[in-house]
Structure 1
Amino acid sequence: MKRISAIAAGRVQKVGYREHVYKETFNKDISGYVKNLDSGEVEIVAEGRGEELRALADRINIIRYPIAVKSFSIKWQDATGEFPGFEIIRGELQEELFERVDLAGAIMYEVLENSKLSLEKQDQMLQIGIETKEEITGCDRILFLITHI
């Protein structure tokens, strides 16, 4: 078993990054914690099999709105076995609540953007349907004229 101690810097606080890290450890044999640092960085300590930890590092070193990891440093060590599971170490209640509100706003923005794209696609498909109907109607008129000549 191995242990990684990682520091993620960039846009990693108040954007749901700790939740992302936690989600990436879900249902995997990885223990440890993730927490915000006063420096604006996020600390990740994780223990597990080497290949699982390498895969975890790849999945959490991301740039995907609203998260932007700009630097990611890892130290490898032997596991200590001190963690029963993986957890998010949270800060003060008020700060955590505001972070949740910020994250909710980011998610709502993403939902709105996806909704706009869906509506645009629906409009395109509707236009294709209208044009197809007009073509069929035009063919019907031609057939009618041909059969009645």
Structure 2
Amino acid sequence: MISGKVQRVGYRAKVVSAAQNLGLTGFVQNRPDGHVLLIAEGSRENLEKLASAIKIKDLLIDVHEIESEFSEASGAYPTFRKMTGPDEVGERLDDGIEILKELVVGVRVIASNTEKLLSITGNGFAELNGKMDQMLDKQDQMLDKQDQMLDKQDSTIGEIQKLRSDMKCHLDRRFDRIEGYLNVQKEESLP
């Protein structure tokens, strides 16, 4: 027994599809109390898969509870099918028409709101597009300046390296001369 929002929402069709995909036999039927009765025969594994697959919660269907009881299969069901009552077809058509009317109204509201949004934002998109173009131009200018700065940086680094090399050579010569003077001083002071 399945309870919840399970009648007049296409629930039995989903149950039939799931049961047939699992190779089960039996039937599904609306009950006068608002529940849905499901009798299915097959392997325990596939019956458990069916129980899991039919715990549906979506826009229309909302299964609250599934009460299940397992017993030996009778073999009385050659296929799996949906059982319908004598008045169901007419009621289903009436329900379908009401749902269709609600959908049409909803689509009209969405179309109207979309049209309003587009008219409001139409000019805004053009302005935004212009601003984005300006931003991209500024970004290109910044990248050009960055490239120039990197070129100058490379040049400056080269000059600093040359100055370091020159300074090192100059200091090495000076130290060599100082060392020479010191050596001469030591030799003169020796007895």
TM range (shorter): 0.5 to 0.7
Larger radius of gyration: 2
Residues 1:14 and 2:8 aligned together? yes
Name 1:102's counterpart in structure 2: 95
Question: Where in structure 1 are there 5+ consecutive unaligned residues?
Answer: 1-6
SS in 1 for 2:65: strand
Q: Residues 12, 137 of structure 1: CA spacing in aligned structure 2 closer, same or farther, 3 A cutoff?
A: same
**Structure 2 unaligned blocks of 5 or more:** 145-191
Counterpart contact for 1:66–1:106, Cα < 8 Å: no
CA distance in 2, matches of 1:43, 1:57: 13
Displacement of 1:47:
0.8
Residue aligned with 1:98, SS: helix
Q: How far apart are the structure 2 equivalents of 1:84 and 1:16? A: 23
Change (3 A) 1:52 1:89: same
Distance 1:97 1:109 in 2: 19
Higher strand proportion: 1
> Offset of 1:77 from its aligned partner?
0.7
Q: State how far apart, in whole Å, the 2-side matches of 1:141 and 1:134 are.
A: 11
**CA apart distance, 1:38:** 1.6
How many residues end up aligned between the 2 structures?
132
- Classify 1:145/1:76 alpha carbon distance in 2 versus 1 (closer, same or farther; 3 Å): closer
Report the 3-state secondary structure (helix = DSSP H, G, I; strand = E; otherwise coil) of the residue aligned with 1:88.
Answer: strand
1:8 alignment partner AA? I
Shift of 1:26: 3.0
Which gives a bigger RCO, structure 1 or 2 (Cα 8 Å, sep 6+)?
1
Q: Which residue of 1 aligns with 2:71?
A: 77
Tell me which protein shows more helix as a share of its residues: 2
Matched, 1:58 2:52: yes
Of 116, 133, 137, 1:137 maps to 133
Alpha-carbon distance, 1:42 to partner: 0.8
Cα distance change, pair 53–144 in 1 and its aligned pair in 2 (3 A): closer
In 2, the alpha carbon distance for the partners of 1:144 and 1:12 equals 61
94-103 vs 18-27, which moves further: 94-103
**1:37 has 2:31 as partner:** yes
Q: Which residue type is aligned with residue 88 of structure 2? A: E
Q: Could you list the per-position Cα deviations for residues 58-92 of structure 1 after superposition, in whole angstroms to 9, with x for gaps in the alignment? A: 11122222112222100001112111110001101
- Normalised to the residue count of structure 1, the TM-score between the two structures is 0.67
Distance 1:65 1:144 in 2: 50
Q: Distance in 2 between matches of 1:107 and 1:56?
A: 30
Calculate percent identity across the aligned residue pairs: 26
- Alpha-carbon separation, structure 2, partners of 1:142 and 1:63: 52
Cα RMSD (Å): 3.7
